[in-house]
Structure formats: C-alpha cells, structure tokens
C-alpha cells in the first residue's frame, strides 16, 4: 500500500520512529506513548507521529488518526501531502467521511499545495456511496478555494453520469457557481 511506503521513506531513519514503532509493535497505544512523552516533558517530531498514524490506519481508527493530525498541526509539525492523501484514502475506505473532510480542511489550513488528488478521492468516495448532501457542501467549500482546479468538477459530473447518479438542483447550482466563480461563463453550456 502506498501509505506504508511513504511513511517508511519519511521517517524510518529517525530515532523517534524506531522507538515509537517498537512500542507500538509491543502493543502500546499511540495515545499512551504521546501522553507519556508529554508527562516526561518530551516533544515529538514527524518521526514520532508517523508510526502512530500508521498504527491507527492499520487498525481502521481513522477518527483517532484525524484527532492526532489536529494535535500535530497545533504543535507546529507539518505533515506532507502524501501522508494526508493516505489518511484521507483510509478514511474514505472505512466510510469515515467526517474524518476525510476534516483532514482535507486541515490540508488547506496548513497550505498544502497539491489538493486535487485528495479532492478527487473524496468526491469519488462520496459519489460511490451516494452521499449527495455531503458532495454538495464539499463542492461549495472547495469552490471557495482557488487552489483546486474547477476542471475537476467537470470530471465529477462525468463520473456522476457514468454511475447513473441522478443530480438534483443543488448539484447543478454547485456546478454553475463553480464556473461563474472562475469566470468561465460559457463552460456552463459545454
């Protein structure tokens, strides 16, 4: 899986990674490791957090992983785009849409530049799981962010047609708003 490959490349050489990974392999929970580090006055870098995130995803504990990502962001440590993508993918696989959307928002807040892949992962998952209410609000939220290309909305619409999803008025309104916000007025008729 891409997630494990990326995680190894990021932090496998750090001492913190080795220690935390060994503790997790022995059955200690990620939260207890972090609590003990805090109690001892220690702080963790990316090498400490990566094995804990890996363990949470392996155990399908995506809500806990999302909470840890918030704590990581608040501590000033920034995750890379591949880690976010892997966490979003794991959340969507588990149908934990709230976690996936929260992670996407965190990506935006931390100024991660490559948002398109995660956007498409979320939209595909919401579409395949027939969650139009989440799709509509997510599309509107993304339209406010100029870092996601509106062309991906074209792809989303084609995917909806392919899956025989019946769009409602809110779906079309979201597409129109997307084209208008990008000043591609004639794209509406395309």
Closest among 1, 117, 128 to 57, alpha carbons compared? 1
pLDDT band at 142 (very low <50, low <70, confident <90, very high): confident
Rounded-to-integer distance, Cα 6 and Cα 157, Å:
31
The C-alpha R_g of the chain, in whole angstroms, comes to 19
Domains of the chain: total: 2
Phi and psi, residue 12, nearest 5°: -60, -25
Residues 37, 38, 44: CA angle, nearest 5 degrees: 60
Rounded-to-integer distance, Cα 56 and Cα 51, Å:
9
3 and 82 belong to one structural domain: yes
122 and 165 belong to one structural domain: yes
- Higher-pLDDT residue of 62 and 48 is 62
- What pLDDT shows up at residue 26? 67
2 and 87 belong to one structural domain: yes
- Higher-pLDDT residue of 16 and 34 is 34
Q: For residue range 96-133, list pLDDT tens digits in order.
A: 999 999 999 888 888 777 787 888 888 888 888 888 88
For residue 27, what are the CA distances in angstroms to 24, 98, 181?
A: 5, 28, 51
The whole-chain average pLDDT of the chain stands at 74
For residue 78, what are the CA distances in angstroms to 67, 109, 173?
A: 14, 11, 35
pTM of the model: 0.65
Rounded-to-integer distance, Cα 119 and Cα 35, Å:
33
Closest among 45, 65, 42 to 55, alpha carbons compared? 65
84 and 160 belong to one structural domain: no
Rounded-to-integer distance, Cα 48 and Cα 30, Å:
10
87 and 15 belong to one structural domain: yes
Calculate what percentage of the chain has a pLDDT beyond 70: 61
6 and 45 belong to one structural domain: yes
Residue 41, burial from CB neighbour count under 10 angstroms (0-12, 13-18, 19+): exposed
66 and 124 belong to one structural domain: no
Phi and psi, residue 46, nearest 5°: -60, -35
Rounded-to-integer distance, Cα 48 and Cα 63, Å:
19
55 and 120 belong to one structural domain: no
- What pLDDT shows up at residue 111? 79
pLDDT band at 154 (very low <50, low <70, confident <90, very high): low
Q: What is the three-class DSSP state of 48?
A: helix
- Higher-pLDDT residue of 11 and 115 is 115
Q: Which domain holds residue 13?
A: 1-93
- What pLDDT shows up at residue 124? 83
Rounded-to-integer distance, Cα 100 and Cα 121, Å:
9
């Amino acid at each position: 899986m891409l997630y494990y490959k990326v995680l190894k490349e990021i932090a496998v050489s750090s001492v913190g990674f080795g220690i935390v990974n060994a503790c997790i392999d022995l059955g200690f929970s990620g939260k207890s490791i972090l609590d003990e580090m805090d109690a001892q006055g220690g702080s963790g870098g990316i090498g400490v957090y990566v094995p804990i995130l890996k363990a949470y995803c392996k155990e399908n504990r995506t809500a806990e992983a999302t909470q840890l990502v918030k704590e990581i962001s608040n501590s000033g440590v920034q995750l890379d785009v591949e880690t976010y993508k892997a966490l979003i993918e794991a959340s969507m696989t588990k149908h934990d849409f709230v976690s996936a959307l929260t992670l996407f928002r965190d990506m935006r807040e931390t100024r991660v530049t490559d948002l398109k892949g995660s956007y498409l992962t979320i939209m595909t998952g919401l579409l395949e799981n027939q969650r139009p209410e989440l799709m509509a609000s997510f599309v509107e939220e993304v339209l406010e962010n100029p870092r996601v290309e509106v062309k991906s909305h074209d792809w989303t619409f084609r995917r909806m047609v392919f899956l025989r999803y019946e769009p409602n008025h809110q779906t079309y309104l979201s597409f129109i708003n997307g084209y208008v916000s990008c000043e591609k007025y004639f794209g509406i008729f395309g």
